[in-house]
Structures are given as structure tokens and as C-alpha cells.
Structure 1
């Protein structure tokens, strides 16, 4: 996979930031660009115009494909040999679909407790 990846994530979310740092993606795919969805970036605005809700989950662009939410996390987990139980659990589409809403709720609660607004 020489095309590389673009990962749109919430730079103010401690979980999102830690997850993107944990992955060993460059070894697996080459170029990886991390894009903070809270920053002014025309690519973020283009996703929003397409109706992609970045508060629902991170987005991964690989070539012409977009992966959102649980699909994005599952796709990233499948690309790497990242350590830890979460990465292993999220490699399964069924487990990713079941666990992602719990992770998303934890993120929303944490952001609220930290006084951070949704990306919106």
C-alpha cells in the first residue's frame, strides 16, 4: 500500500491522539498524514460538506476510499501489528461495530468533563 493514508481525528481528544500515536502505520503503509479535524483545513470542510460527522468518529482516507467511525478504527487496526488488547479486538469487524459506540460515548463524556466542545 504505497498510497499512504490521511487520518482525520479530534486533536483535542486524548483518546484519539493516543490511538493515532500508538499505531505503527508508517511501517505498514508509508506516508501517513494526521489531520486535526478542529483545524481549518479544506479537506476537513470537504468531508463536512459530504455529510461526514467527525463527532461520530475519525475518518481514514486511503486512495479513493473513506472509512468512518468503527470502520476506520478496524481498518487502521488491521494494517498494523500495534500492541495491546484494543488494537487486537478492533481488527474484527463484528467486535469493532460492537465496541465502537462504547468508545465514542467515553470520548463524548471525556470531552464534556474537560470542557471541550464537539467538532460540529
Structure 2
């Protein structure tokens, strides 16, 4: 993995797309590399081998450390700006690791249900 911040997400999920666009990490952290997991299957395989399935959650790589799912959202929430209501809500919710661990499974179910309704395949086939 490279230095800086990389966010690997499901580019076919409208919820994931909206989330990464609205976090506005660039304002507080500088350039962020957003990677659609569906376009980089080698990276998806590498992360899966490390126990981070993109079907189960977003991945954030900050410097050389990659974190997954609720922990990724916690890290991103702590880095994001709190200039608008969305980012304030994300910070308030996900900067608390225990709350993030409680909420994240519900978000994952919502995402899976939405992708099923949209007839989208899982990333890891």
C-alpha cells in the first residue's frame, strides 16, 4: 500500500458513492485516493487475503495501515471536516468506536439489501 489516504469502496453502491463524496476529506487532509473496488480486483483480492472483504465494508488505508468496516468509518470521521450537517453527524456517530460497532452491521444489511434490489453482484464472486 502507498503513503497518504486511500479509500476503497463499492462504486456500484449508491450509499457508498454518496458517503465518499460527502465526507469531504480533501478539505481537512489534502488529496484522497478514492478507489472503486469493482475496478481493482487485484487490490480486492489482496485486502480479502488480509481479512478485509469489500462485501462486508469499506476500507481506509492511512499511511501504511489499512482498517476495515466500522473502524474505517471511525478513522475517516475523525479526519473529516465538520463544516456541514452531514459531516457533523458522521463525526458525532462514527468517532465513537462503540457506537460505530453497533450501527455498522445495520448499515451493512441496508447496503446488501439495496444491492440485492438493484440486482448487483457481490464484489467477491
TM norm structure 2: 0.86
Report how many residues are paired.
118
> 1:76 corresponds to which residue?
76
The CA distance in 2 between the partners of 1:71 and 1:91, in whole Å, is 9
Q: Which runs of 5+ in 2 are unaligned?
A: none
SS state at 2:67 partner: strand
Q: What are the ranges of 5 or more consecutive residues in structure 1 without an aligned counterpart?
A: none
Match of 1:96 among 93, 100, 114: 100
How far residue 20 of structure 1 moved from its aligned partner, in angstroms, is 0.1
Indicate the residue corresponding to 1:11 in structure 2: 11
Task: Point out the structure with the larger helix share.
Answer: 2
C-alpha contact 1:4 1:30 (8 A) present in aligned 2: no
Q: 1:97 to 1:33 in 2, by over 3 A?
A: same
> RMSD of aligned C-alpha atoms?
1.5
> Could you tell me whether the CA contact under 8 Å between 1:9 and 1:35 is conserved in 2?
yes
TM-score by length of 1: 0.89
